[in-house]
Structure 1
Amino acid sequence: MAFPTPSPTYPTFTTLYTHILTLPTPLLPPPKPTSPSLTASISSLALHPTLEAALHILNNDLPSAHFLVRHMQAPPAYEGMFLHGILHRIEGDYDNARAWYGNVSESEVFGEVWGSEEKAREFIGGVEGLVKKGEGERGGLERESEREIKAVVEFCRGKFGEGEVRDARDAWVKPGEDHRRMGEEMVTGGKGFRQF
């Protein structure tokens, strides 16, 4: 009887991140995680939720990333909100991505990554043009996608560190009553353009 080869373990953020960077960078909607065995490895590091979400995005595990960013969709969790926009861009939900980018356009993380909302919108438009019309240069868009997510990771790494976060309650934010109600209507009532 042959036993399955155990998946490799990555004892630190740096070893796991270095490995993930060898995988294809997400640009378009992936059919499934690039390496499903990495989901448990990413979660087991108990990183700050923004870093964990970013690693899941880099592994094309959008459901795991979405679970995390949905707990960080209001200020002051700008990094999680930005990752939410990146996730929707990769999914192909460009209007939703633009909305999230717009929500964080005045934040420090967005400023470091893009400098201006105009540049970010141009990039999203380029990806959308490639997907919907076959227009644009795929290689350049892939490089820009990689640059964007790496810049967000490095910002979060500097802000939150790479250590274990056993209690992430401080990272989760509760939206105000207006945002909560609006979100409920968009998810359950089909109102508005944004499906969280």
Structure 2
Amino acid sequence: MGSEHRKPGNFATFDSIYGYLTSEYGFPVLASRSPYPHDKTLSHPIAELSVHPTLEAILHILNADLSSAHFLCRHMQNRPAWEGMYIHGLLHRVEGDYENAKAWYGDVADSECFKVVWSEGGLEGARDFIDGIKEFRDMKGGRELRERLSKTSEGEIDALVAWCKQQFGTEKVQDARQQAWVEPSEEHRAMAAKMIVGGEGWRNF
């Protein structure tokens, strides 16, 4: 599985890394059992792509490199960086901090990006999905539920990637500070100052 993505030198594009990560590790439902990336050797090639930070953050999330993804999301957690805010919610969903994820989803529910990704079900459907993941985690089983959640996760991430690619392309971003970063709100500044380790997932961001 994913052998076509293993060839040396084949990690030079967003699509090659995205294809490798999704074929090798799938679309995340439950939080990773390890606080470390799936493949530590990919962190540098992902950064070297210099794609728009939204797309880079998604690759890091798929590689379970949540620290790298969070570094990027922290620079995109205020309007009008709707995509970055949404990805921040996705990060919390993947790490297992479900209430925080639902809060971020609520913050971007009126954005065009979120409406396109969740064209069926909207915010209620997205929150039901997150509740389903928590239910699956707590009951530790249920093949039918796992398959449904996996399919929904794939649909969400694929649609989000398609949106970001359409908006920003996959060419190199010369200066993310000018092209992507936004000033954080006072609320988010205060939250960042109080970051702690723990909670339901590996970190509380």
Same fold by TM-score, threshold 0.5 exceeded? Answer: yes
Classify the TM-score, shorter chain: 0.7 to 0.9
- Whole-angstrom CA distance in 2 between matches of 1:16 and 1:154: 15
User: Where do residues 1-196 of structure 1 align in structure 2 (5 Å cutoff)?
Assistant: 8-24=9-25, 25-30=27-32, 31=34, 32-115=36-119, 116-134=122-140, 137-169=145-177, 170-177=179-186, 179-180=187-188, 182-184=190-192, 186-187=194-195, 195-196=204-205
Mark the CA change 1:120 to 1:7 in structure 2 (over 3 Å): closer, same or farther: same
How far, CA to CA, are the matches of 1:181 and 1:35 in structure 2? 31
The list of structure 1 runs, each at least 4 consecutive aligned residues, that deviate by more than 6 angstroms after superposition, is: none
The alignment yields a C-alpha RMSD, in angstroms, of 2.1
**TM-score with structure 1 length normalisation?**
0.86
Cα distance, 1:151 vs. partner?
Answer: 0.9
Query: Aligned equivalents of 2:114 and 2:84: distance in 1?
Result: 11
Q: Distance in 1 between matches of 2:172 and 2:136?
A: 39
The 1:164–1:131 alpha-carbon spacing in structure 2 relative to 1, beyond 3 Å, is same
Structure 2 counterpart of 1:183, one-letter code: M
Give distance in 1, aligned partners of 2:182 and 2:107. Answer: 15
Unaligned runs of 5+ in 2: 1-6, 197-203
1:3 aligned residue: none
Q: 1:13 to 1:180 in 2, by over 3 A?
A: closer
Aligned mates of 1:89, 1:176 — CA distance in 2: 22
Secondary structure of the structure 1 residue equivalent to 2:24: coil
